[in-house]
Copies of this chain bind each other. A is one copy, B any other.
Amino acid sequence: MGSPFPSITIEDLSPSIEGGQFPIKRVPGQSVVIEATIFKEGHDAVRALLKWRAKSSHSKSTETENRNSKNQSLWQEIPMKLLENHRFQGSFQVTSVGFTEYTIEAWGDPFDSWLQEVKKKIEAGIEDLHLEAQEGAILIHAAAQRSKDNAEQQELINFAIELEKKSSLYSLKDFLKTERLLFLMHRYPDRSFSTLFEPFQQVRVDRLRAAFGAWYEFFPRSAEGKKESGSNFREALARIDDAKAMGFHVIYFPPIHPIGLTGRKGRNNSLECLPEDPGVPYAIGAVTGGHDSIEPLLGTIEDFQWLIAQVRERNMEVALDFALNCSPDHPYVQQYPEWFYHRPDGSIKYAENPPKKYEDVFPLNFYNTRWKELWKELLGIFLIWAERGVRIFRVDNPHTKPVTFWQWVIAEVQEKYPDVIFLSEAFTHPAMMKKLAKIGFTQSYSYFTWRNTKEELENYFTELTHSEMKEYFRPNLFPNTPDILPFYLQEGGRSAFLIRAALAATLSSIYGIYSGFELCENAALPGKEEYADSEKYQFKERDWNAPGNIKPWITRLNQIRNSNSALQNTHQLQFCHSNNNAIIAYLRSSEDNTNHLLIMVNLDPHQQQAATVEIPLHRLGIPYESPYCVEDLLTGECYEWKGTHNFISLNPLTHPAHIFRVKNL
């Protein structure tokens, strides 16, 4: 291997994010299908191998660097097949969490070229081919030299000797078809002028939970739903068991750190704070500590570790919020004043978005002269919580901190803890949303929260699942958050919650709800998407089993997700035509296309809606003229259908969705 100069053009590699600057993403067991345009000058036969290997480090590497690296695993290789017009394709499965790198090696193959030429001459009726036979024998002898297996070496030598004796078109014709010869020659090709594509491309392989999981968010101080005093970690078990019963995998807590007193906000973001007001968990830092500490009202580090052990026992895990806000009482303010913005009067600048003021929060200045200390400290915070057993971080507003910081800190954390998952909570412009996903965030919040109509949903999810985004952007769908109670939920009553739950649970394999959603809480501040009496500012009284709750619906959705691989990937999604804009229909399929679900949702929370839906029979492997049965996994009901067009009708009050499994009759 190793031509003195590139002999082959390998270009237009796909997928390749910004020319390989950023990795594509997978979880173990998922496959990577690579295509490239590969060609050489002249008429030589070109062969190509797809090569991949797990990487010991996440940094980019070149062949030179790798020669110096000891712990590099060996390349695995598979021949790529020619599609058409010099386009080659190959695929491999990733296995281990971390980074896998891949590239292509291609070469003009002297033996294949010889075969091609001799076949042409035979076709042209050229009779004397004794020189060609000798040339072929030389190539076979050379392959024998390259062989490391004695028996195969002897086989090749025998082939060469046989070929040397042949001299005419007639004697050669059948010999060239000898399968064993072709097999052995492909096994020991002459790669002395091969070209290796650089830079090597990367796959970030995350653990399974990165691509499939249902999240349940609650404020631990609200676990018991008491109005006057909150609850603590030790009292949170009931909430966790409830989430477990509903089928969730991840328990996500807003910040659990000490809450500042200076500038503390009262109910509904009031500037007047009463002594009993618990403060906003995002105003982090007090005399009792900062980002590495726990709010005393919730408990101690030991209580927290007891809680995550309890969660783990239930086969779930805890996700923490990573919010880079400091209250005026945060220890950093005294210790590292350079990290903050100072005003001419000596005060520290609090966060503002005029006319909004956040007097309880000091933003960090990432461009201060001691930025290196700041970055290292923040890395340390991730590592402390990782050491305490946390492996998922939901990062608050990453789009207001330097992209370069996230790229660095995520790489550093995953270098030490390759199983850490980072969820980007960025609701901002598309270029930034994509960039954060490219530079390292494992999952991303999405615009789903505000996509309500069929057209909006189809456009957005087509982009997510059919553009390059499917390679690196894993959308985690939240129909609500503590900051966002969408107007659709405010106005649509209980049905709206059923509908949005069904969409979130089936349009992506990762989704989550913020607690209260299951109770259809929809009281908002007038004209805003803010919850009325938001628990960001106060203790919240709740009956977790209040009448009208949709816990059975959510439970059923999660059961269906857990037992159907079609709902365990983010990208296998195909919309189906329905002749009513209030009915959205789509096919979800497993990675290996063995499990398919046909999903239909009535987007109108107020009216029964009916539609004729076009069924992609071809993808389902159903003959056009055969009857088939669809079973609604939500209700257990079965319908016998035939052909591509079938009628459905959905009542938003009772059953706003179908999730059909198709049974061939």
Q: Which residues from chain B contact A400 at a C-beta distance below 8 Å?
A: 41-43
How many Å lie between the Cα of A405 and that of B7 in the bound state? 9
Which listed segment binds B: A130-138, A412-420, A586-594, A604-612?
A130-138
How many Å lie between the Cα of A355 and that of B39 in the bound state? 24
Contact A135 B343 (CB under 8 A): yes
Q: Which residues from chain B contact A408 at a C-beta distance below 8 Å?
A: 5
Q: Flag whether A402 is at the interface (Cβ < 8 A).
A: yes
Q: Which residues from chain B contact A39 at a C-beta distance below 8 Å?
A: 429, 431-432
How many Å lie between the Cα of A345 and that of B3 in the bound state? 28
Interface string of A330-368 (1 = CB under 8 A from B): 000000000000011100000011110000000000010
Contact A401 B4 (CB under 8 A): no
Which residues, 133 to 183 on A, are CB-close (under 8 Å) to B? 134-135, 138
- The listed residue (B9, B42, B123, B405) touching A435 by CB distance below 8 A is B9
- The listed residue (B121, B135, B344, B405) touching A135 by CB distance below 8 A is B344
Contact A124 B355 (CB under 8 A): yes
Q: Which residues from chain B contact A124 at a C-beta distance below 8 Å?
A: 354-355
Contact B9 A403 (CB under 8 A): yes
Interface string of A1-30 (1 = CB under 8 A from B): 001111101011000001100000000000
Contact A131 B343 (CB under 8 A): yes
Given contacts A138-B344, A354-B121, contact A431 B367 (CB under 8 A): no
Which residues, 418 to 468 on A, are CB-close (under 8 Å) to B? 429-432, 435
Contact B11 A431 (CB under 8 A): yes
Q: Flag whether A270 is at the interface (Cβ < 8 A).
A: no
Q: Flag whether A624 is at the interface (Cβ < 8 A).
A: no
Interface string of A119-131 (1 = CB under 8 A from B): 0110111100001
Copy count, this protein chain: 2
How many Å lie between the Cα of A11 and that of B19 in the bound state? 12
How many Å lie between the Cα of A120 and that of B355 in the bound state? 8
Q: Flag whether A404 is at the interface (Cβ < 8 A).
A: yes
- The listed residue (B18, B42, B131) touching A11 by CB distance below 8 A is B18
- The listed residue (B86, B138, B399) touching A431 by CB distance below 8 A is B86
How many Å lie between the Cα of A39 and that of B344 in the bound state? 28
Q: Flag whether A57 is at the interface (Cβ < 8 A).
A: no
How many Å lie between the Cα of A353 and that of B117 in the bound state? 8
Q: Flag whether A641 is at the interface (Cβ < 8 A).
A: no
Q: Flag whether A306 is at the interface (Cβ < 8 A).
A: no
Interface size on A, residues (CB 8 A): 51
Q: How far is the CB of A259 from chain B (nearest CB, A)?
A: 24
Q: Flag whether A481 is at the interface (Cβ < 8 A).
A: no
How many Å lie between the Cα of A266 and that of B588 in the bound state? 69
Q: Flag whether A37 is at the interface (Cβ < 8 A).
A: yes
Q: Flag whether A59 is at the interface (Cβ < 8 A).
A: no
Q: Which residues from chain B contact A431 at a C-beta distance below 8 Å?
A: 9, 11-12, 37, 39, 85-86
How many Å lie between the Cα of A599 and that of B308 in the bound state? 76
Contact B344 A134 (CB under 8 A): yes
Residue of B with least CB distance to A116: B354
Residue of B with least CB distance to A344: B134
Interface string of A31-50 (1 = CB under 8 A from B): 00000010101110000000
Q: Flag whether A487 is at the interface (Cβ < 8 A).
A: no
Contact B135 A404 (CB under 8 A): no
Q: How far is the CB of A125 from chain B (nearest CB, A)?
A: 8
Most chain B Cβ neighbours within 10 Å, of A4, A344, A371: A344
Residue of B with least CB distance to A341: B135
Contact B131 A345 (CB under 8 A): yes
How many Å lie between the Cα of A134 and that of B342 in the bound state? 12
Given contacts A344-B134, A354-B124, contact A41 B401 (CB under 8 A): yes
Q: Flag whether A193 is at the interface (Cβ < 8 A).
A: yes
How many Å lie between the Cα of A179 and that of B430 in the bound state? 34
Contact B7 A131 (CB under 8 A): no
Contact A404 B5 (CB under 8 A): yes
Given contacts A41-B399, A435-B11, contact A355 B131 (CB under 8 A): no
Q: Which residues from chain B contact A126 at a C-beta distance below 8 Å?
A: 354-355
Q: Which residues from chain B contact A430 at a C-beta distance below 8 Å?
A: 85
How many Å lie between the Cα of A12 and that of B371 in the bound state? 28
Residue of B with least CB distance to A138: B344
Interface string of A380-407 (1 = CB under 8 A from B): 0000000000000000000111111100
Q: Which residues from chain B contact A85 at a C-beta distance below 8 Å?
A: 429-431
Contact B123 A354 (CB under 8 A): yes
Given contacts A19-B19, A354-B121, contact A42 B399 (CB under 8 A): yes
How many Å lie between the Cα of A138 and that of B432 in the bound state? 31
How many Å lie between the Cα of A4 and that of B369 in the bound state? 10
How many Å lie between the Cα of A353 and that of B39 in the bound state? 19
Q: Which residues from chain B contact A367 at a C-beta distance below 8 Å?
A: 3, 7, 193
Q: Which residues from chain B contact A42 at a C-beta distance below 8 Å?
A: 399-401
Given contacts A41-B403, A117-B354, contact A131 B344 (CB under 8 A): yes
Q: Which residues from chain B contact A19 at a C-beta distance below 8 Å?
A: 18-19
Interface string of A85-126 (1 = CB under 8 A from B): 110000000000000000000000000000001001101111
Residue of B with least CB distance to A363: B42
Contact B344 A402 (CB under 8 A): no
Q: Which residues from chain B contact A4 at a C-beta distance below 8 Å?
A: 371
Residue of B with least CB distance to A110: B367
How many Å lie between the Cα of A345 and that of B130 in the bound state? 10
How many Å lie between the Cα of A85 and that of B432 in the bound state? 11
Q: Which residues from chain B contact A5 at a C-beta distance below 8 Å?
A: 371, 402, 404-405, 408
Further pairs besides A124-B355, A126-B355: 12, Cβ < 8 Å: A5-B405, A9-B403, A37-B431, A39-B431, A41-B402, A41-B403, A42-B400, A85-B429, A85-B430, A131-B344, A134-B345, A135-B344
What are the 4 tightest A-B residue pairs by CB atom distance, in nearest-first order?
A124-B355, A134-B344, A120-B354, A19-B19
Can you offer 7 A-B residue contacts whose CB atoms are under 8 A? A5-B402, A9-B431, A12-B431, A131-B345, A134-B344, A138-B344, A193-B367
